[in-house]
């Protein structure tokens, strides 16, 4: 695969996702970092987005519930280069009926070089990074070039 360098904006678009058992941890994390998150554009799946909006008063772009396709909506936003960062508190100790969707979402984040935090410690490291509020360069798949070379 061919890659190209892109630069993120200083205002990030952040996906917030949590499995049921992890929703309280995500809620606590967002509340603790509300001031740092406020300038950014936030997306969340289903119930997570509604609860976050009610609890924090922040504007959350709400997608549908994860098991109904919300994970795939976030995946589509990643491939469209809309999402810059994903905070996904998934439950490693409980099987999810939509585990294949979860794996696909994490795979897309890796392919498109999206920083992902799957637990509080990693989320804390991401949000306190000097790059969190600044533009930074990253490599992503150069899909247009790939298509051009494929058709030649």
- Angle subtended at Cα 76 by Cα 96 and Cα 8, rounded to the nearest 5 degrees: 115
The 8-class DSSP code of residue 38 comes to T
Given 20, 28, 71, 101, the catalytic residue:
71
Print burial letters for 73-106: b (CB count within 10 Å at least 16), e (below 16): bbbebbeeeebbbbbbbbeeeeebebeebbeebb
Locus of tokens 């905070």 = 87
71 is catalytic: yes
Q: Which two tokens stand for residue 1?
A: 């695969």
Q: Known catalytic residues?
A: 71
């Amino acid at each position: 695969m061919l890659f190209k360098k892109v630069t993120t904006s200083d205002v990030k678009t952040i996906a917030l996702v949590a499995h049921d058992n992890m929703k309280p941890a995500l809620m606590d994390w967002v509340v603790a970092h509300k001031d740092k998150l406020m300038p950014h554009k936030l997306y969340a799946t289903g119930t997570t987005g509604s609860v976050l909006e009610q609890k924090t008063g922040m504007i959350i772009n709400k997608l549908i519930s994860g098991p109904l396709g919300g994970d795939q909506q976030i995946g589509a936003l990643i491939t469209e280069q809309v999402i810059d960062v994903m905070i996904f508190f998934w439950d490693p100790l409980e099987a999810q009926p939509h585990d294949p969707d979860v794996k696909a979402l994490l795979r897309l984040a890796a392919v498109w070089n999206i920083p992902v935090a799957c637990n509080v410690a990693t989320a804390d490291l991401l949000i306190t990074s000097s790059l969190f509020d600044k533009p930074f360069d990253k490599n992503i798949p150069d899909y247009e070039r790939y298509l051009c070379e494929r058709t030649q």
